[in-house]
Structure 1
């Protein structure tokens, strides 16, 4: 009996030593994702949906002019196999007209409405921009060659995934594109079609990553993805506190405690995996996120996030002149 306990203790000690070593030095057995993509510090959600109508070219131009590091988009495929940028396949929310993008020819797509609801900020975005057209993925790549673009393949059908991969390769964007899907099955399809494109984690992989971390096993498992996209629960609580019940608020607090973990983020960074939080639209949320040393923030209001960083530099005595000049030109 004593021998059995000695064996158990020895196994536990070895496990703790190996687990700690792999947590601190994961590249002992795992490849480092390194700098597969550039900076993701400031990301414009749907192109900056709070300042111009989402996913339109004016929104993309505006955000790039501001100096964001990444544009976040979703893609759909038209009836004539054109890959367009849109969050929904159903056009009613974005255009006011009934119909599916997948059942409509590109030339017959209606324009976006000039007034859309922001689900993460619970306000309307109204714009007087001149161009409300749907944007081809091809055209976005052509206009903005260098910026990182984060693509959710949405319905994840093989035809769409293959077309997106072809367009990425055509524009030589393997090093400045992130793609994937919230579904693990569809994410695996993206990886099988083109493993050279940087991927973000599916919902299942996010849950798996947190589970392995809290079980002390994270260092044992390979992760093929290079970006972890997560919501920040405290921001959700701030925005929706008036419609949440007491127990729901308690669950959000628990979720925030579990999800916003500096130690996990540190380990992922050691593996070259970047952490991006979405979708934050208030300065207080920007400040909270930065305390957890995340690699990037996704926002509907890139001007606010740019200004937040500019003000921080200014208050620390750094030169924020260049950023201020950019904001000034845009406001003019």
Structure 2
């Protein structure tokens, strides 16, 4: 009898605190709320991770820029998604092996990772196809929230990004981290005042805590959850039927375990923002916002802006 009383009390308390977490937790203070996030500055409407892309996205009205960082041979923090330059420039070298002023230009036509079979083709203007420095982005957009993906496990890169955030006083306007738990932990250790992403490992722990009923009792240091809609992985072509079926099974498992509105509502009640990436279609935008997403990350800033205006979100 005592056992069932204890279990019943635990379940009731967990359910109550899951719905009203602020009874025991202090709500996180994030000074910005972003519905419209431009992935790599809007890779479908400009050369990804370039100043032109960032400027255009800001002019359109994006509320956050998402970008990626690497370190050059001469120690400059450069904005680029890939460590290897082959996809973007046609040159098979790593950024860490090239000085910043020797980086090649981005190719005039560039495939869009999250829109298969679509290639962005822009101008031949060389200035449009240069890799920018992170400090230049900070200087150009001093009041714009920026989401930084630290792409490799490099202590010097993490420290230099942290130093730049401090120099430009951007702790309250920056979110950083990586899928790698080790990288994200190093980011938090380097500067705990910067908003933090959930790593892949921490997302798995989050799911376990939710289904065990422990989540309402556990403090969370992260401020932003970035997850994908599983359906976007089904866009990409697969070589065999087996691979396609495995991808479909994976998507079903993620949908079942993670894509839960009750979880997102709980996190947002605790002041943790929920972003979905990388969505490029109206039906995906609708699905994300119906699930309670704080914001959506897209390659097409113009398309997302039109959607938000039409739906009056």
**TM-score band, normalised by the shorter chain?**
over 0.9
Offset at residue 240 of structure 1 (A): 3.7
| Counterpart residue number, 2:185 | 188
| Counterpart residue number, 1:166 | 163
| Counterpart residue number, 1:222 | 219
Number of residue pairs the alignment of both structures matches: 307
Offset at residue 28 of structure 1 (A): 3.4
Change in CA separation of 1:157 and 1:37 when aligned onto 2, cut-off 3 Å: farther
For residues 93-115 of structure 1, what are the alpha-carbon distances to aligned partners after superposition, in whole Å with 9 as ceiling and x for unaligned? 11111211111111111111111
| CA RMSD of superposed structures (Å) | 1.7
| Counterpart residue number, 2:270 | 271
For residues 213-262 of structure 1, what are the alpha-carbon distances to aligned partners after superposition, in whole Å with 9 as ceiling and x for unaligned? 1222111211101000000013433x247766345424423422332211
8 Å Cα contact 2:114/2:232 also seen in 1:
no
For residues 263-301 of structure 1, what are the alpha-carbon distances to aligned partners after superposition, in whole Å with 9 as ceiling and x for unaligned? 001100111001100000011111111111110100001
| Partners of 1:112 and 1:27 in 2: CA distance | 48
Offset at residue 193 of structure 1 (A): 0.7
Tell me if 1:22 matches 2:21: no
8 Å Cα contact 1:76/1:102 also seen in 2:
yes
Change in CA separation of 1:247 and 1:170 when aligned onto 2, cut-off 3 Å: closer
Residue 176 of structure 2 is aligned with which of 165, 171, 179? 179
| Partners of 1:191 and 1:283 in 2: CA distance | 35
| Partners of 1:31 and 1:129 in 2: CA distance | 52
Deviates more, 1:213-222 or 1:241-250: 241-250
| Partners of 1:176 and 1:301 in 2: CA distance | 22
Does the residue aligned with 1:245 lie in a helix, a strand or coil? helix
Residue 27 of structure 2 is aligned with which of 32, 38, 41? 32
| Partners of 1:263 and 1:184 in 2: CA distance | 25
Offset at residue 304 of structure 1 (A): 0.5
Larger radius of gyration: 1
| Counterpart residue number, 2:138 | 141
| Counterpart residue number, 2:65 | 71
Tell me if 1:104 matches 2:98: yes
Does the residue aligned with 1:74 lie in a helix, a strand or coil? strand
Change in CA separation of 1:89 and 1:246 when aligned onto 2, cut-off 3 Å: closer
| Partners of 1:90 and 1:303 in 2: CA distance | 29
Residue 206 of structure 1 is aligned with which of 203, 206, 212? 203
Tell me if 1:155 matches 2:152: yes
Residue 50 of structure 2 is aligned with which of 49, 53, 56? 56
For residues 111-151 of structure 1, what are the alpha-carbon distances to aligned partners after superposition, in whole Å with 9 as ceiling and x for unaligned? 11111111211111111163211100000011111111000
Offset at residue 77 of structure 1 (A): 0.5
| Partners of 2:305 and 2:277 in 1: CA distance | 16
Tell me if 1:312 matches 2:311: yes
| Partners of 1:129 and 1:33 in 2: CA distance | 45
Change in CA separation of 1:107 and 1:246 when aligned onto 2, cut-off 3 Å: closer
8 Å Cα contact 1:37/1:177 also seen in 2:
no
Structure 2: state its 5+ residue gaps: none
Runs of 4 or more above 6 Å deviation: none
Offset at residue 30 of structure 1 (A): 2.9
| Partners of 1:139 and 1:251 in 2: CA distance | 40
8 Å Cα contact 2:83/2:95 also seen in 1:
yes
